[in-house]
Copies of this chain bind each other. A is one copy, B any other.
Amino acid sequence: MKAEILTVGTELLMGQTVNTNAAEIAQMLAEVGVGVYYQTIVGDNPERLEQAVQTAVSRADLLVACGGLGPTEDDLTRETVAQVLETPLKRDEGWARRLVELFERRGRPFGKNNLRQAMVPEGGILLENPNGTAPGIYLERGDLTVVLLPGPPHEMRALMREEVMPRLALGLAGTQRSAVLVSKMLRVVGVGESRAVELLEPILASQSNPTIAPLAKLAEVHLRITASAPDGAEAERLIAQASEQIRAKLGDAVYGEDETTLEQAVGELLKQQKQTLTVAESCTGGLLSHRLTNVPGSSGYYVGGVVAYSNAFKIAALSVDDEVIEREGAVSDTVATGMARGARSASGADIAVAITGIAGPGGGSAEKPVGLTFIALADDSGEVCRRYEFWGGREQIKARAAQSALELLRRHLLNRGE
């Protein structure tokens, strides 16, 4: 099957937005063995969009078009595709009603142009979009499959995962497809990319099928294992083998697979060990708490936390000793430890993690440079504290500090559980 991805939007064409959608769609298609042969980007221009759709349907078996499904006059994808395929558009009354109700519920006036989003090419299937007003569309016409997706990444992603991929897999099951491509991601933390590559040298040197591709992320490394096989079971077997070899080298540094996040891995350990958690954040400003609470069900182990940004708040909310702050500065191991201890007793949680540091760009000195961070952990056995020096801009330093705090906590739970 030859696929083409067409992304539509002047902001992409002009380079104001980086085209992550095309990359994500291509990756998902590769998972089911569908190869992308072309990617095209056009702006919100009717003639060029039409030409691009024309070209795509003439050379591809699968066209995935993303963007241009919204309510405004700029949004032309639905109409253009219908026109090229010479298919009339019909209104989906269910979706039209849903739009009207949505606007009513939000107390907003309903512009008629919104109803364009309920139009579906004849023979097409409306894919319900849980995150937005423009649904996706799935259309099969002889050997050609056309998929239309809204442009906001989270809307595109959800529709691809929940609606498009299952349909494609079903369609592919019946056809002559050469091989299945299956990928698995191993997620590694606490080991840099170059160190991971060193440790995996013998495995990486001899790889052919599956292939193993290391990918550096912010303060973690992802290893993508991709196997090609006549069927899924064989591909899974090859992946399991490679995965085992990697785990033998990296041990606990592999914290999860595929979409598992570090905060999910930590959450699982907390649940297993029936421990509750609180946090006290200074330089990360709430990011650690935000990440912890991105996990559905986190209220089962996370009681809440304190963002103690000012010194006064560290003293008031966490009972940190003002003399210690005065003497050693807010960014010090004593204050980090004091914050953890204070957070634990204020919240009654089993474990407390505290972070204090200098996120920059201001506030650094020769002795205490931007990026200097202390992370402390308190539980019934006492407190530990570690010193870090992170680099990067303000948001990177916040991100690295939150990541390191999760990793410190994960290590603590792994050791505790032994």
- Residues of A whose CB lies within 8 Å of any CB of B are 10-20, 22-28, 30, 35-45, 48, 52, 55, 70-74, 102, 105-106, 108-109, 111, 113-114, 130-131, 133, 152, 154, 158, 183, 192-195, 197-198, 204, 213-218, 224, 226, 278-279, 281, 284-290, 292-294, 296-299, 302-310, 312-314, 316-317, 346-348, 359-362, 389, 391-396, 398
Contacts and interface: CB of A to CB of B under 8 A. Distances in A.
Nearest to A287: B290
Contact of A294 (B71, B289, B394): B394
B285 A307 contact: no
A250 to B, nearest CB: 15
Contact of A130 (B30, B289, B303, B392): B392
> How many copies of this chain sit in the oligomeric assembly?
2
A131 to B, nearest CB: 5
A24 B16 contact: no
Contacts of A197: 71-73, 111, 113
Contacts of A204: 73
Contacts of A307: 279, 286, 289, 293, 304-307
A346 to B, nearest CB: 7
Nearest to A151: B216
A131 B393 contact: yes
A71 B193 CA distance: 8
A296 B15 contact: no
B41 A38 contact: yes
Given A197-B72, A286-B293, A36 B15 contact: yes
B22 A347 contact: no
B303 A312 contact: yes
Contacts of A18: 18-20, 23
B11 A17 contact: no
Contact of A105 (B55, B195, B278, B389): B389
B286 A290 contact: yes
